[in-house]
Amino acid sequence: QVQLVESGGGLVQAGGSLRLSCAASGSIISINDMGWYRQAPGKQRELVAAITNSGSTNYADSVKGRFTISRDNAKNTVYLQMNSLKPEDTAVYFCNAGLVTSRLFRTVKIYWGQGTQVTVSS
């Protein structure tokens, strides 16, 4: 019932911009921290950006000054604005969120999206 769905990926030239979106749906009581990870071929998955439910953000050094993470709690959505894209940004980007789905237990469980491909050409 609960799932995260990413959108906004695609092919863009170096120096261009993309905005990724991730919407959470289902029986959700509350959303805690949310973030974006990416995985390039032959590399391990890495954290790109994260945002708490209070708006505090954290970025990987490689994307600071170029990427901006934000969230819209009314829409259960987290965004990643990517500017000045480089070929090394090419990867599958995954949405991540801590969700509370039970009013009784209020346990925070980690959910992942299926990923969206971002390709930056030189």
Residues forming a β-bridge with 20: 80
**pLDDT over 90 at 4, yes or no:** yes
Confidence at residue 88, expressed as pLDDT on a 0 to 100 scale = 96
In a 3-state reduction of DSSP, which class is residue 97? strand
**pLDDT over 90 at 26, yes or no:** yes
Name the DSSP letter for residue 19. Answer: E
E-assigned strand segments in 8-122? 10-13, 18-25, 30-39, 46-51, 57-59, 67-72, 77-82, 91-100, 108-112, 116-121
Q: What is the pLDDT of residues 39-53, one digit of tens each?
A: 999 999 999 999 998
Instruction: Tell me the CB-side half-sphere exposure of residue 59, using CA atoms within 13 A.
Output: 13
Confidence at residue 34, expressed as pLDDT on a 0 to 100 scale = 95
Residue 86: in which H helix or E strand, if any? none
Confidence of residue 33 (pLDDT cuts 50, 70, 90): very high
Residue 90: closest CA among 116, 120, 114, 63 = 120
Q: What is the pLDDT of residues 52-97, one digit of tens each?
A: 988 999 999 999 999 999 999 999 999 999 999 999 999 999 999 9
Instruction: Tell me the CB-side half-sphere exposure of residue 57, using CA atoms within 13 A.
Output: 17
In a 3-state reduction of DSSP, which class is residue 58? strand
Confidence of residue 1 (pLDDT cuts 50, 70, 90): confident
Average pLDDT, the chain: 95
